[in-house]
Structure 1
């Protein structure tokens, strides 16, 4: 039986790792942290921000609303306050559709 490398889920991500995930500057991550109260990073003794996987999911949601849908920060904040569950559900549907599109493109290129 071959050895399988265990999948390790990170408990915390640094601000640099989060910025790299979204291909943005760390200053934008800090700005969004101040603007949106759903992001609450832990800070170590040095004051470095440590983001949880839930924070990263919230960044995905904010990135989708602001960068992909073109909403203003105030509009995105209002949408998250009024109906966060619907917003998350819509985001998950869009994410699944993108995955399906990517898979279909891969299949088409393989033919």
Structure 2
């Protein structure tokens, strides 16, 4: 099982290049059939397909899925609204939610390292 991040939200994304649909499902708290459906609905989501049509997601895909999940489940967007919001962000050059998520995750990881480096541990 993957280790959750500091604030008990979604787990920290491991530093590897490719993730299976099962791993992404766990990292994003979304069932695999939902991920397959979102691939049809969101053009930004393009996992690499290999032998036997197996999907392999990259870190960028995982961040995109987390962004889609937040728009749908936390912000209350419809699929169409979330798709439009993501397209608008891309076209407007705004700081995407995914960059903010990486920054937040990096800060949490650095805080954990600082905790380990404290004297007297």
Report the Cα offset of residue 87 of structure 1. Answer: 6.2
Aligned-pair Cα RMSD in Å? 2.5
4+ long deviations beyond 4 Å: none
Number of aligned residue pairs: give it: 91
| Structure 1 unpaired stretches of 5+ | 1-7, 104-111
Say yes or no: does 1:51 pair with 2:57: yes
What's the counterpart of residue 40 of structure 2?
A: 34
- Higher-Rg structure is 1
TM-score between the two structures when normalised by the length of structure 1: 0.70
1:92–1:80: structure 2 CA closer, same or farther, 3 Å change rule? same
Distance 1:15 1:89 in 2: 22
TM-score between the two structures when normalised by the length of structure 2: 0.65
1:12–1:81: structure 2 CA closer, same or farther, 3 Å change rule? same
1:14–1:30: structure 2 CA closer, same or farther, 3 Å change rule? same
